[in-house]
């Protein structure tokens, strides 16, 4: 079952195309990251999904059906900076949110406990740290126990402690069976908490799928020899790397993570009459992979 199915979604603001025919599915039970630099169309897409914006063209489905108010009531949404009454307590703010959403106030103790704010429920919102404010906003989204959570940049502006708190909360919600759709420009956060990802660049979908397949780092082996043409000829016949590239007087070999065998490479080159004067292993970072996709 797909929680969300997007088909050829497009959004224009005059001559500016914020989304350019984007299509992908969000499977049930996943933590699905929508990843891209600022201005890539992430927030516009979430605005359309939550019925705040109208698409120029294209369509989407929720829970494998045409979207209705019933479907949206099953989704908790966090789309902007927390907006609560500063002079009221966390619990009082949640009571107001529950009344506005038509949720029962009896759910408030549960959601406060989920976001670890029970002990601060009577403190004024103005005394909360930014991380606590973010968690209270997520508590508000959890009222009514929705099946799906949509979070737009949930760690934006937080310090490392606040980021870690939100990260652990997302993981806990996922373990409890919720599907989470999270937009972020932070590669590290998506890699740490998401099971699936869609990567956007200037409104265009450049990759989508399992995080371990899309955002995979690689082992990069650099080899060099005095006889560079002979080295290149030998490497062309070598079985193992997914690809190779010339890098000046060196040749780079790319392997899936953990599969590069330097001893085997050295022995092979020697058997081909090529004596290596350089043999080194480097890691291709997730950041490099992300930059390749978005640049």
- Give pLDDT, residue 175: 93
Of the listed ranges 89-103, 131-145, 238-252, the least confidently predicted one is 238-252
Report the pLDDT value the prediction gives residue 79, as an integer from 0 to 100. 81
Other Cβ atoms closer than 10 A to 27: 13
Residues 24 and 145 both lie in one domain:
yes
Average pLDDT on 89-100 reads: 93
Give the total number of structural domains in the chain: 2
Identify the residue with better confidence: 82 or 23. Answer: 23
pLDDT value of residue 223 = 92
Residues 183 and 250 in one domain: no
Strand order across the 196-201 sheet = 75-78, 148-152, 179-184, 31-35, 196-201, 204-210
pLDDT at residue number 294: 66
Look at residues 173, 192, 214 and tell me which one is the last residue of a structural domain.
214
CATH number at 226 reads: 3.30.70.100
Kindly report the number of other CB atoms within 10 A of residue 273's CB atom: 9
Q: What is the CATH number of the domain that holds 68?
A: 3.40.50.300
Residue 156's pLDDT is 84
**Mean pLDDT score of the chain:** 88
The answer to whether 205 and 197 have CB atoms below 8 angstroms apart is no
Q: Which of 9-23, 181-195, 245-259 has the highest mean pLDDT?
A: 9-23
Query: Is 167 in the same domain as 41?
Result: yes
Say whether both 248 and 191 belong to one domain.
Answer: no
- Look at residue 88 and tell me whether its pLDDT is greater than 70: yes
Asked whether residue 201 falls in the same domain as residue 283, the answer is no
Q: What pLDDT, on a 0 to 100 scale, did the predictor assign at position 288?
A: 65
pLDDT by residue (tens digit) across 45-76? 999 999 999 999 999 999 999 988 888 888 99
Of 214, 237, 272, the residue that ends a domain is: 214
Would you give the end-to-end CA distance of the chain in angstroms?
33
User: Does residue 64 share a domain with residue 104?
Assistant: yes
pLDDT at 139: 93
Return the pLDDT at 32. Answer: 96
pLDDT confidence of 293, banded at 50, 70, 90?
low
| Helices and strands, number each (H, E), in the chain | 11, 13
- Domain match, 198 and 248 both: no
| 209 and 240 belong to one structural domain | no
Cα distances (Å, whole numbers) of residue 255 to 90, 148, 235, 272: 51, 37, 13, 21
Token duo for residue 286: 């997730």
pLDDT of residue 213: 76
Mean pLDDT for the stretch of residues 235-259? 84
Same domain, 209 and 222: no
User: Among 194, 214, 234, where does a domain finish?
Assistant: 214
> Are 39 and 151 part of one and the same domain?
yes
Is residue 252 pLDDT above 90, yes or no?
A: no
pLDDT at 154 exceeding the cut of 70: yes
DSSP 99-141: HHHT--GGGHHHHHHHTT-GGGTTSBGGGS-HHHHHHHHHHHH
Give the percent of the chain with pLDDT over 70. Answer: 95
Judge if 205 and 245 occupy the same domain. no
Model-level pTM?
Answer: 0.76
Given pLDDT bands bounded at 50, 70 and 90, which one contains residue 149? very high
Confidence of residue 260 (pLDDT cuts 50, 70, 90): confident
pLDDT, position 136: 94
pLDDT of residue 21: 94
- For residues 30 and 174, state if they share a domain: yes
**For residue 190, what are the domain limits?**
2-214
pLDDT of residue 253: 87
> Given this model, what pLDDT does residue 217 score?
67
């Amino acid at each position: 079952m797909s929680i969300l199915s997007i088909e050829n979604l497009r959004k224009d603001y005059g001559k500016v195309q914020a989304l350019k025919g984007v299509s992908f599915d969000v499977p049930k039970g996943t933590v699905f990251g929508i990843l891209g630099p600022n201005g890539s169309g992430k927030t516009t897409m979430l605005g359309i999904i939550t019925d705040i914006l109208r698409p120029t063209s294209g369509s989407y489905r929720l829970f494998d059906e045409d979207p209705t108010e019933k479907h949206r009531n099953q989704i908790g949404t966090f789309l902007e900076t927390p907006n609560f009454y500063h002079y009221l307590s966390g619990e009082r703010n949640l009571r107001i949110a529950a009344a506005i959403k038509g949720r029962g106030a009896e759910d408030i103790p549960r959601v406060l406990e989920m976001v670890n704010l029970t002990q601060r429920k009577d403190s004024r919102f103005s005394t909360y740290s930014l991380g606590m404010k973010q968690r209270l906003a997520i508590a508000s989204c959890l009222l009514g126990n929705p099946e799906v959570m949509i979070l737009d940049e949930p760690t934006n502006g937080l310090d490392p402690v606040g980021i870690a708190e939100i990260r652990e909360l997302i993981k806990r919600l996922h373990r409890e069976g919720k599907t989470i759709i999270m937009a972020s420009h932070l590669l590290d956060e998506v890699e740490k908490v998401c099971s699936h990802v869609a990567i956007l660049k200037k409104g265009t979908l450049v990759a989508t799928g399992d995080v371990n397949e899309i955002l995979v780092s690689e082992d990069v082996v650099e080899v060099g020899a005095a006889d560079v043409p002979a080295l290149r000829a030998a490497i062309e016949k070598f079985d193992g790397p997914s690809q190779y590239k010339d890098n000046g007087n060196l040749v780079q070999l790319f392997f899936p993570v953990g599969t590069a065998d330097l001893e085997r490479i050295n022995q092979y080159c020697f058997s081909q009459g090529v004596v290596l004067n350089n043999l080194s292993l480097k890691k291709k970072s997730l950041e490099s992979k992300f930059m390749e996709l978005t640049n």
